[in-house]
Amino acid sequence: MVVPLFLLIIFFSLTTFIANATQGAAWGRVEGINGHRILELLDLREENNLATWYSSILYFIVGIALILLGWGNSVEFQISRLSRFLFQLAATGAILISADEVASIHETIGKSLARFTNQFLLTTPMIDTRFFWVIPFAPFALLGLIMIIYQLHQLIAKMPNPNYWQRQQAYIALWAALLFLPGVFLSELMEWYLVNIKQFGTVITCFEEMFELLGMYSLFICVMRISKPYQL
């Protein structure tokens, strides 16, 4: 699964960048087929299309992989109850985010919070946009990510009888996840600033979607590299 998943990430990232570059272009019909409409089906920024379907699948696969660490047992795999609970929480969270990729629950909640904030607390330029969810959710997501990264780092350090390259692969995947996943929130805030404050469009949203896929893919690789020596 490692190679096909990565190739699909490259494919959907490219189609998203192409869709952004050709946005608003005059597309002619070729034998009744609208070329840009096809790109919209492969655009990670859109909702309920093939690209978001793949994104949802990737989150689900990561959740299934984390189940190995949250509920798996073997002679070599001995962790604390707290560590096991954190992995169980992470597995559940990844599966729930998989559903959210299709249902856009976080964006809906973010818009509701923005309207509430604007009506009862203060006026915010984020009103009626899809960016407000970052403020309430990002701190918890980043805290959870740091805790999971730490737990995975501990498991890599204590791998039973690993060869050098096996451990290095796990470390590389771990640090890649730590690089890409926080980049999702940073990209979202940068996009909000450019769209709402500077009043012009940006390609950052394409990078955001790519970072999201690469981050989850890296997390999947890390978990699978860890699970093998622990015989999970």
CA distance 199 to 192: 10
- Tell me which amino acid residue 79 is: I
Where is mean pLDDT largest: 21-30, 31-40, 211-220?
Answer: 211-220
Return the higher-pLDDT residue of 164 and 109: 164
Strand 33-34, strand 29-30: pairing: antiparallel
Return the higher-pLDDT residue of 22 and 198: 22
CA distance 41 to 44: 8
Confidence of residue 187 (pLDDT cuts 50, 70, 90): confident
pLDDT in tens, 194-228: 766 555 556 788 888 899 999 999 999 999 999 98
Q: How far is CA 164 from the centre of its chain?
A: 29
Report which of 211, 208, 79, 205 is spatially closest to residue 148, judged by C-alpha positions. Answer: 79
Tokens of 46: 């859109």
Per-residue pLDDT, 199: 53
Residue whose pair of structure tokens reads 């019909």 in the numeric block: 29
Strand partners, 29: 34
State mean pLDDT over 24-48: 70
Q: Which long-range contacts (CB under 8 A, 24 or more apart) does 140-144 make?
A: 141/185, 142/182, 142/185, 144/89, 144/90, 144/93
